[in-house]
Structure 1
């Protein structure tokens, strides 16, 4: 049995000011975000992780480091993977979300992902995001009883986890976006079928 521990990064400046926080944005954690990650690390301090995979963006790397700082059972080594980066918002990255209220593609991003078309601002579509996320999942080793820690981003993880649970594209946002420093756990024996053990759990 393999357990995948998925964590969204802690609070950043873009989160705090309600701005698009995509694959181009590379802020580190705010002090509050560091505290969130430390709290989650304490919650997971007795869990042994065979490997820790992270997005190469600073906020994900720092979150993983704060989590593992509390853990004496796991290696501190991080394996970065570009497939875990946040969705690319193109020209919207770093821009105030409120400034795009009323734009049909913001509405689709949140509520109708199957209709989301970011080509106008050179963004990334949900199908392309799903493709790279599934590619990452498929390369993991599921042959042993293993725990993996995977630290990534809100839209990327929300999308990937819902797809792994079998949801169709139109329904991947119906449960909302995963919270900062939330923990979600999926379990699998073969890397094909996944069962939810924990969803969007926060420790702060």
Structure 2
């Protein structure tokens, strides 16, 4: 009996020892043989100006996104925040590429452009209008099968010599297969931004359902498994709606716009454009005070002009913050031509319209230089461009961006973007609390430190 028990125990032990490795091997085989699945999130680009004007612009041209188009693309990015992408692709047309970059903001993911993802070509009708086609052929430009045929009809001849649906579908699927080949052995989600003509290709996976278009910034999901495509989702706008809701809950980006304090030239009543000078004792004291006031402010980025009074203000104010300072010429003061380093009283005495505009807080943008200086609208444009770029880059970040610049260019910028606000003259450090959201700027607060 003891021998029997011993034998059974030995058998159980051997079985237990061998069963573990066998199970692990079986699991590993199962895991390695598991089919890889790629999901293509196919997004139509945001609204364009040609969409508004109902133009027939396809693969032969581009149209810029409207402000709504950019806002929707950015909102869609928020709506897709919980979707982890392994790669991002777009057509080579700007409207699709910009949409992809808006969606992927903050993900540090490049967008690869592929020619065969381009919109279907309208042929002879490129650049026209839908109404023109209706008048000429008696069929609306939205009667797609009249102009493009069907996805399964390779012999269709378009009345406007457009690319037919079959040709488009073949090249579009070829592009998807090209993308898939770059991700062999991977499973995951891939963003692809393209055009409304994706609906023509996707029709082959929709069974008997009638041909339907795609809304701007809608999402369709195509799954590739075992070498076969299947449609999982079509023309979904819920991601966009979710993004709208998330966007409304986001606070605006805070930009601390700092204007340099009194310098030796400004104290002497001399006009400083790109001319430069050191701070007065009062100016140095003002910078030190602002450093103390902002010591607990979390800055995620800092920019300054290349002029000494700009970057020296930044260095003094940011001392102790350990923040890398980025110098940018677009923050430099306006160049005033032969009025550079001129006595302010002399300029005002000219009683010219240019002088009146330059010294009026609400008219700097209208300043026209009397010689080779910079006009106010040009200065406003370059500061606006840089601040908008900063806003776009950091809009979804937590923290504050510090920007150090000069009075005239700031007044010109405010005339352009916040026209109801007037920035008064001051000989101290002016600190403007600027807020940015959805491409709009707002002045939250202004204080002066002397």
TM-score, normalised relative to structure 1: 0.84
Q: Residues 140-198 of structure 1: CA distance to partner in whole angstroms, max 9, x if unpaired?
A: 1353211110000001x1122222x265xxx68x24111111011122322313141x2
Q: Which residue of 2 aligns with 1:179?
A: 215
Against the structure 1 CA distance between its residues 142 and 175, is the aligned structure 2 distance closer, same or farther, given a 3 Å change threshold?
Answer: farther
Q: Residues 41-73 of structure 1: CA distance to partner in whole angstroms, max 9, x if unpaired?
A: 00111222111110000100110011011x53x
Match of 1:78 among 83, 88, 111: 111
Greater RCO, CA 8 A, separation 6+ = 1
Residue 138 of structure 1 aligns to a residue whose secondary structure is helix
Q: Find the structure with the greater CA-based Rg.
A: 2
Against the structure 1 CA distance between its residues 154 and 186, is the aligned structure 2 distance closer, same or farther, given a 3 Å change threshold?
Answer: same
Residue 42 of structure 2 aligns to a residue whose secondary structure is strand
Larger displacement relative to structure 2 (18-27 or 103-112): 103-112
Deviation at 1:110, TM superposition (A): 4.0
1:97 is the counterpart of 2:130: yes
Residue 147 of structure 1 aligns to a residue whose secondary structure is strand
1:149 is the counterpart of 2:191: yes
1:38 is the counterpart of 2:77: no
Against the structure 1 CA distance between its residues 195 and 121, is the aligned structure 2 distance closer, same or farther, given a 3 Å change threshold?
Answer: closer
Against the structure 1 CA distance between its residues 39 and 191, is the aligned structure 2 distance closer, same or farther, given a 3 Å change threshold?
Answer: farther
| Unmatched runs of 5 consecutive residues or more in structure 2 | 1-36, 242-450
Aligned residues: 193
- Structure 1 ranges of 4+ moved more than 3 A: 104-108
Larger displacement relative to structure 2 (83-92 or 105-114): 105-114
1:200 is the counterpart of 2:241: no
1:109 is the counterpart of 2:151: no
Q: Which residue of 2 aligns with 1:21?
A: 57
Distance 1:179 1:127 in 2: 22
Residue 22 of structure 1 aligns to a residue whose secondary structure is coil
Residue 55 of structure 2 aligns to a residue whose secondary structure is coil
Larger displacement relative to structure 2 (13-22 or 137-146): 137-146
> What is the root-mean-square deviation in Å for CA atoms of aligned residues?
2.3
Q: Which residue of 2 aligns with 1:127?
A: 166
1:137 is the counterpart of 2:176: yes
| Unmatched runs of 5 consecutive residues or more in structure 1 | none
TM-score, normalised relative to structure 2: 0.40
Residue 6 of structure 1 aligns to a residue whose secondary structure is strand
Q: Does the Cα contact within 8 Å between 1:2 and 1:146 map onto a contact in 2? A: yes
Deviation at 1:113, TM superposition (A): 2.4
Residue 129 of structure 2 aligns to a residue whose secondary structure is coil
Q: Which residue of 2 aligns with 1:60?
A: 96
Residue 98 of structure 1 aligns to a residue whose secondary structure is helix
Distance 2:44 2:219 in 1: 7
